[in-house]
Structure 1
Amino acid sequence: MPRRRSLTARGIGALVAGLGCLIAANLVGAPILLYIGVLLIAVTAFAVLAVRAPRRSGSVARQISTDLLTVSETSRVTVRFSLRALRVPRALWRDVLPEAVSGDSAGEYPSETGQLSYLITGVRRGVWPIGPLVLRTVDPFGLAQREQAFGETRSVTVVPEVFTLAPLTVKVGAAGGTAHTSSSRLGQGSDNLSPRRYVSGDSMRRIHWRATAHRGQLMVRQEEEESSPDALVILDRSASRWERPGDEADPAFETAVSMCASVAVHLVQEGYGVDVIDSAGTLLGTLRGHEDDRDGLLVALALTAPRGEARDVVALVGGTPPGPLVYITGRIDEEDAARLRPAGAAAPLLFATALEPGAKDVAAQQGWRVADLGEDITEAWEDVLPDRVGLAPAEPQGRAR
């Protein structure tokens, strides 16, 4: 935070005028100029002492109306400022804001309500500091000023914007989303569903202990196997796909991150269990319908940045292909598209922020439904769903608004 000089423009003018009067008094021998010069310098010095001498201390507490601030979302910040001084000054206050957050965080002190508040709007995702609180006092003549910072900073997390996407109106994958989830929940804990024999690779969490004790061999719950995660969203953040102009945000990458968040939240609303990973296989989030899962994913996406290299999609998917497989990437050419294999997924959807000539056709030949990811995320999503992707044909519908 840059520190302001002690003298205002008026104070600098008064000091320069005083020095000029002293010089002129010696040159022309005019005592009146000497008196005026001394008076101007003395008044300026007194003004500096008046604002700098008082000892002040204080504490600051901030409360933000939302735990996570979404890009383009507005939230209110309430500041409780307790100033300890012999005399409460008339002053101007401002809360220091990062460039990633916009807002009018200034006003007169003391306020009529005793609380300071202002609105902020998320501009760029990430974790950013708000503060400290700066109090600016000026002497009655407007010659000197003092800026003093109070309190510590408070972090605000700006998460990517989540858009509402058009629904999948048919089942995708072996079981489908909402219908599958509902039947699985009804079956949990029931004994009337036939368990099956344990095979190598089954999770120990699926063991049906009552059936195991009854039959004398390991048995697993069939319904739990069916309710395993069946949607996968992959964010390709390999450095070669994106432009990185210093510390400036890459608009294409920001759009891709927002697309990733929107698709993941949309699929879990459709009833799917969703895993979100990056192109290196790092888990970014797992959504199972809980609010904490959603917030955890958004925080992880708020901190993600282009880096590293991408792994093969088949290696990322593993042995069990998901239903919907959503791959979000940046600039790709024909060679890149040829290496992107959908790994047997029931509904492979590919979004790229920049498709080189021929890349879309090559990706389509691999089995992807491909869309150019521009500024309009909802339009890109609808571009891969002209007939609502699924194993069975669906009645044509208009675009969601």
Structure 2
Amino acid sequence: MKTRPLTARGWASLLSGLLLIVVANLVSARPLVHLGVLLIALPLLSLVTVRLPRRRGTVTRQISTDLLTVGETSRVTVRFDLYAFGIPTGIWSDTLPSAVRGSATGDYPEDALRYDLEGVHRGISTLGPLLLHTTDPFGLARRRQEFGGTRTITVIPQTVALAPLPTRIGAAGGSAQTRSTRLGQGADDLIPRPYSSGDSRRRIHWRATAHRGDLMVRQEEAESSPDALVVLDRAADRWARPGEEPDPAFECAVTLCASAALRLAQDGYSVDVLDSTGVLLGALRGFEEDREDLMIALAQVAPRGGARDLRTVVGSSPPGPLVLITGALEDTDAEKLGTAGAAVPLLFAAAASEAALSRLRLHGWHPSVQPGSAGELPAAWASALPLSAVTHG
């Protein structure tokens, strides 16, 4: 937004001076001419005084947490080194994206520039540039100047604590450790490399991509398939059309996706998190970096694409637990939602008709309608678990 060079007081002085000169000529009052010239000269002189000095500065920001969770507060400390003739007085403000909120403003100069940020919407955006608003001592002219640089801020989805599964449930055969060795998906897959033509999009390494700015994939090595799968169905026709505000149902689905993946990992499973097109969003293999990778990927997901047959996404190796999180379902959608032989198939839909829920049960699912808020997710999760998988105490 462009800032006017004069304040309201400055414009009043300038217009008053012009009016006095006109009146002085009409009534032949020479002293009024002098006063009018003075009132015109003051804001112009103030404008030169404020605008003329050359200023340059460097800005660095330190955030107390690298990944800010929705609803979490973090402290931002700004170091502003200004190089100018004299020390101007004014007000500083930091430019905040819509994903966060906070009171990022204060008087300048002061010993330190600090403010608190609260995560509002998940996503990756930037803080900055820093703005410095200064006025002359008379308050007639002002200057607004931007100082770089910026700092990336990542707001990750909220997570909630979910009830554990009492025992490890393996693949369809019942073994807790059933796995099949295959290329390119598993615990040893820790080294990112640049994307090459022909690489599967399921191998995208989201954290490395966000940090380097180029598409990176996980190094392909022979390793084990996961015990559990979490699938986030983000087909565009299952969710509300994007608007200025995020869709609460989809945001709740992302929270459930992250929470379910962490819950299964805590229960001892190796977990793959996929979207409905088969793109690998994250893999939890017991490393802290895995959790951060998943959260960064989920910070960026949005509804897109069309619906696919779930069996083509899951593949030929049936997982133990399979968690499908989807949007609005009709009874005809059930034909594309087979359980792929999963030992514990759990399905959460943002909205579903009774006919759709009945057909899903016939396919072997334990379906549940996803609640509208994150606080209700633990109860919905517990009610969706099969009776044999519920533990007390």
TM-score by length of 2: 0.84
2:129 maps to 132
What is the letter of the counterpart of residue 120 of structure 1?
L
Three-state SS of the structure 2 residue aligned to 1:35 is: helix
2:57 maps to 58
Per the TM alignment, residue 26 of structure 1 is displaced from its structure 2 partner at its CA by 2.3
Query: After superposition, what is the alpha-carbon deviation per residue over 1:366-392, rounded to whole angstroms, capped at 9, x for unaligned?
Result: 2211121123345344335338536x4
2:349 maps to 352
Cα–Cα, structure 1 residues 345 and 98, in superposed 2: closer, same or farther, change >3 Å? same
Would you say the 8 A contact 2:162–2:382 is kept in 1?
no
The structure that has the greater radius of gyration is: 1
Q: CA RMSD in A?
A: 2.7
1:198-217 correspondence runs (5 A): 202-203=181-182
The CA distance in 1 between the partners of 2:100 and 2:164, in whole Å, is 32
Per the TM alignment, residue 363 of structure 1 is displaced from its structure 2 partner at its CA by 1.5
Per the TM alignment, residue 343 of structure 1 is displaced from its structure 2 partner at its CA by 1.4
Per the TM alignment, residue 86 of structure 1 is displaced from its structure 2 partner at its CA by 1.9
1:188-203 correspondence runs (5 A): 202-203=181-182
State yes or no: 1:251 paired with 2:248: yes
Higher deviation after alignment, 23-32 or 236-245: 23-32
Per the TM alignment, residue 54 of structure 1 is displaced from its structure 2 partner at its CA by 1.2
1:6 maps to 5
The CA distance in 2 between the partners of 1:48 and 1:347, in whole Å, is 72
Per the TM alignment, residue 45 of structure 1 is displaced from its structure 2 partner at its CA by 0.6
What is the letter of the counterpart of residue 95 of structure 1?
D
The CA distance in 2 between the partners of 1:381 and 1:281, in whole Å, is 27
Cα–Cα, structure 1 residues 204 and 255, in superposed 2: closer, same or farther, change >3 Å? closer
2:282 maps to 285
Per the TM alignment, residue 327 of structure 1 is displaced from its structure 2 partner at its CA by 0.5
2:19 maps to 20
Would you say the 8 A contact 1:371–1:383 is kept in 2?
yes
Per the TM alignment, residue 116 of structure 1 is displaced from its structure 2 partner at its CA by 1.1
Cα–Cα, structure 1 residues 368 and 266, in superposed 2: closer, same or farther, change >3 Å? same
Cα–Cα, structure 1 residues 50 and 226, in superposed 2: closer, same or farther, change >3 Å? closer
Query: After superposition, what is the alpha-carbon deviation per residue over 1:32-68, rounded to whole angstroms, capped at 9, x for unaligned?
Result: 3322211110111111111111111111111111111
2:46 maps to 47
Deviating runs (4+, > 2 A) in structure 1? 26-33, 169-177, 201-205, 225-228, 244-248, 374-390, 392-395
The CA distance in 1 between the partners of 2:384 and 2:232, in whole Å, is 25
1:157 maps to 154
Cα–Cα, structure 1 residues 43 and 384, in superposed 2: closer, same or farther, change >3 Å? closer
Query: After superposition, what is the alpha-carbon deviation per residue over 1:166-220, rounded to whole angstroms, capped at 9, x for unaligned?
Result: 222234335999x957x99xxxxxxxxxxxxxxxx84489xxxxxxxxxxxxxxx
Three-state SS of the structure 2 residue aligned to 1:296 is: helix
The CA distance in 2 between the partners of 1:394 and 1:380, in whole Å, is 16
Higher deviation after alignment, 312-321 or 240-249: 240-249
The CA distance in 2 between the partners of 1:261 and 1:103, in whole Å, is 26
Would you say the 8 A contact 1:372–1:380 is kept in 2?
no
In structure 2, which of residues 358, 367, 372 is the aligned counterpart of residue 375 of structure 1? 372
Unaligned runs of 5+ residues in structure 2 are 185-221
Cα–Cα, structure 1 residues 378 and 21, in superposed 2: closer, same or farther, change >3 Å? closer
The CA distance in 1 between the partners of 2:144 and 2:58, in whole Å, is 16
Cα–Cα, structure 1 residues 3 and 234, in superposed 2: closer, same or farther, change >3 Å? same
Three-state SS of the structure 2 residue aligned to 1:303 is: coil
State yes or no: 1:313 paired with 2:310: yes
Three-state SS of the structure 1 residue aligned to 2:383 is: coil
State yes or no: 1:168 paired with 2:165: yes
Q: How many residues align?
A: 357
State yes or no: 1:262 paired with 2:259: yes
State yes or no: 1:233 paired with 2:244: no
1:361 maps to 358
Query: After superposition, what is the alpha-carbon deviation per residue over 1:91-133, rounded to whole angstroms, capped at 9, x for unaligned?
Result: 211111112110111111111xx32111111111111110111
Would you say the 8 A contact 1:136–1:147 is kept in 2?
yes
Would you say the 8 A contact 1:168–1:389 is kept in 2?
no
TM-score by length of 1: 0.82
The CA distance in 1 between the partners of 2:11 and 2:229, in whole Å, is 65
The CA distance in 2 between the partners of 1:272 and 1:241, in whole Å, is 29
Cα–Cα, structure 1 residues 265 and 393, in superposed 2: closer, same or farther, change >3 Å? closer
Higher deviation after alignment, 336-345 or 139-148: 336-345
State yes or no: 1:274 paired with 2:271: yes
Unaligned runs of 5+ residues in structure 1 are 185-200, 206-224
Query: After superposition, what is the alpha-carbon deviation per residue over 1:121-168, rounded to whole angstroms, capped at 9, x for unaligned?
Result: 111111111011111111111111111111211111111111111222
State yes or no: 1:123 paired with 2:120: yes
Would you say the 8 A contact 2:168–2:267 is kept in 1?
no
